[in-house]
A and B are shown apart, each in its own frame.
Chain A
Amino acid sequence: MKNNHTNYWLVNSYTSNKNDSNMMKHLKMKLSVVAVSAVMAMGCNNNQNTANVSCSLSGAGATFPEPFYSMAFDNYAHKSGNTVNYGGIGSGGGVRNLKDEIVDFAGSDAYLSDEEMAEMEPVVHVPTCMGAVVLGINLPEVETVRLSGEVVADIFAGNIKQWNDVRICALNPLAKLPNKAIVPVFRSDGSGTTFVFTHYLSQVSESWSSTYGAAKSVDFPVGQAAKGNPGVASVVSQTPYSIGYIGSEYAFAQQLPMAVMQNSNGEFVSPTVESISAAAKGDLPSDTRTMVTNSDAKGAYPISCFTWLIVYQEQHYGDRTIDQARATVDLLKYMLSDANQQSAHLVGYAPLPKSMVKTSLESIKKITYDGVGIF
């Protein structure tokens, strides 16, 4: 009898084991279904009912235009049925992903240098919108401050140490500037924002150019650093008598107090959507690889910049289909469309001037699939 009892438990556990394995099988089947559908979602789906080709595009790169892109890609998905995933991993990471051919496009705040271009298959740069770098300031007693490029360069180089320095006072004859030490705040992480800012400083200050130069991270000699636009913005707003450079889209959204900058015409210009766009008026190269910092256009905010989407000129690489290539071109055209450009200001970005849109459409026409144009 005792023996039977043990057997009963054994059988019981055996059958329950069997149940378990059945359950596992079900689970595995379900999992594989999920996996297969996930794989299918990656590429393009030929939906036979509607005869529409819906694609899923993926891109990665700059974080600066991310709010604009998430809005634009969302609108684009509604309009076209193509979904677009964008990972804000930094311009450098985006270009690396494009080199590894694991994305359809890269987003970058800096155009590729000639050396970088030489290492890759031919690429096309398409600017999508404009932004700027603004100087956030925390001066409890003063409403607005006017600054010039040379003065900003000397503040960040540690040559101007006090707010009531004669050179700042000369630019602000009416303001009562405090006798307090300036705390410069810069980015601790590598960033396109730092590149644009230091590119500007290099153009307006000989000594900045020779000592520090323009790069995504620069060896700032004074002040303190914080991570990302939110980091710099919160240090500035929490630290009296500080000054920090911040991406305009973030500063506009947070409505931070910003310095008024003197441009190369001697005008004092506040950073606004209009003054940023104004910086791109004038003669620009046909491949759009140019910086508009220290622009000599009328009413231009001097620390303005483009942000680009970068794609391969020949779209047949990896296992990409012609549908995917067409969808990529379609997306680029949508980014330049009037409707999209007009909505940029909603999230704090400036639209491209008309002349720039025209130049960019010309460069999209160069994109091919197996050597055939797909505009």
Chain B
Amino acid sequence: MNTLNSYRLRLSEKMSDLTILSPDTRFKGLLWAAALVVPLICVAMLLSLISDSALAFDEFGFFRFVFSSQWSYSQGNENYGALPFIMGTLESTFLALAFCIPFSLTVALFVGEYYSGRKIATLFGTITDLLAGIPSIIYGLWGFYVLRPIVVALGLSDQGSCILTASLVLAVMIVPYAASLSAEFIKMVPAELKEAAYAMGATRAEVMRTVVFPAAGSGIFSAFILAIGRALGETMTVTMLIGNTNQLPTSLFSTGNTMASIIANQFGEADGLKLSSLFAIALILFAIKALINLIGKILIHRAQR
């Protein structure tokens, strides 16, 4: 027993010789390394987007590229502008947001306030969350085979593929993001505040309007920012439903294209100036998304003060 113990002791001494740095220092180093990887990847991505899009910006100039609505690839007369795709992206995203607000707010109130804690709320909440987990290609299929013929039958558009169709499906896709986060923020409103309002004789609707929404407002807003983020970059579903035409959309019922879907559609055969133009569109999409996130953060920060 004694010899065995001394052997163990010797071994453990050897092992501590092996470890020059203390476990704490090593763990800290690991944390640093792991935490640095993510921003580094982000910066590297941004740098490659910038360098690969340089050709297009040099050729057309930044403002001409952003505000030109030409996308023509006839040989010897290549002319690329991002405006149709920027407009297509913004139109489909904000239209989807408009469709999504009434549904996600009511679901959030239902789950987070009116029936909070009851079985029916858990059921509805779970089903809403389930929508978030459905792969986007399934939304695309549903939109293509079910919603599109309905749009044709209603006579809204000859081919059924249009900004409206894409936005409707996008709205369904982003409801769970907006709804379940909003519900969480609504649940977090302190009960004392609500009880004080009830004690003063406020009706339930008045409590919602004057207590719950102001208290949870910044949180609900951040939920919608997240939803916008999802809609901005959505590619597959939109490609299947928007019609993929490279002209400026003239109405909600006209076909269009988004920044994400033009890249997905055309990167395969693109090279030279066209490939660089696609990179430029990617850079602009990156910037728009960063800008919207930034605006969201600033507004949330202001609301919290």
Contact = CB atoms under 8 A, between A and B. Distances in A.
Interface string B248-282: 00000001010001001110111100000000000
Given A215-B75, A234-B144, A224 B244 contact: yes
A190 interface: yes
A344 B49 CA distance: 43
Contact of B72 (A10, A92, A219, A240): A219
A8 interface: yes
Contacts of B73: 215, 217-219
A93 B269 contact: yes
B277 to A, nearest CB: 12
B8 A8 contact: yes
B246 A219 contact: yes
A190 B266 contact: yes
A335 to B, nearest CB: 24
Nearest to A92: B269
Interface stretch (B131-139, B158-166, B180-188): B158-166
B272 to A, nearest CB: 10
A11 B265 contact: no
A14 B15 contact: yes
Contacts, number: 101
A217 B73 CA distance: 7
Contact of B159 (A14, A92, A212, A223): A223
A233 to B, nearest CB: 13
B161 A224 contact: yes
Nearest to A189: B265
Interface in B4-22: 5, 8-9, 11-12, 15
A234 to B, nearest CB: 7
Interface residues of A, number: 41
A240 B155 CA distance: 12
A191 B75 CA distance: 15
A183 B247 CA distance: 16
Interface string A212-242: 1101111111011111000100110011111
A235 B149 CA distance: 11
Contacts of B246: 219
Nearest to B275: A92
A25 interface: no
B81 to A, nearest CB: 12
B74 A213 contact: yes
Contacts of B152: 239-240
Nearest to B153: A240
Nearest to A182: B158
Interface in A1-40: 4, 7-8, 10-11, 14
B269 A224 contact: no
Contacts of A215: 73-75
A217 B266 CA distance: 9
Contacts of B12: 7, 10-11, 14
A238 B245 contact: no
A185 B11 CA distance: 76
B145 interface: yes
Of the listed residues A185, A189, A231, the one surrounded by the most CB atoms of chain B closer than 10 A to its CB is A189
A227 B239 contact: yes
A219 B74 contact: yes
Contacts of A4: 5, 8
Interface string A43-82: 0000000000000000000000000000000000000000
Interface in B154-197: 158-161
Contacts of A223: 159, 245, 255
B233 interface: no
A238 B142 CA distance: 13
Contacts of B247: 221
B213 to A, nearest CB: 41
Contacts of B261: 188
A11 B271 contact: no
A231 B137 CA distance: 13
A215 B269 CA distance: 11
A239 B8 contact: no
B243 interface: yes
Interface in B266-305: 266, 268-271
B268 A224 contact: no
Nearest to A113: B75
Interface string A239-261: 11110000000000000000000
A225 B158 contact: no
Contacts of A90: 268-269
Contacts of A239: 148, 152, 159-160
Interface of B: 5, 8-9, 11-12, 15, 71-75, 144-145, 148-149, 152, 158-161, 239-240, 243-247, 255, 257, 261, 264-266, 268-271
9 smallest CB-CB distances across A and B, nearest first, come from: A190-B269, A188-B244, A225-B244, A224-B243, A188-B265, A10-B12, A92-B269, A7-B8, A183-B159
13 contacts: A11-B12, A14-B12, A14-B15, A93-B269, A219-B74, A219-B246, A220-B245, A223-B159, A224-B159, A224-B244, A225-B265, A234-B144, A239-B160
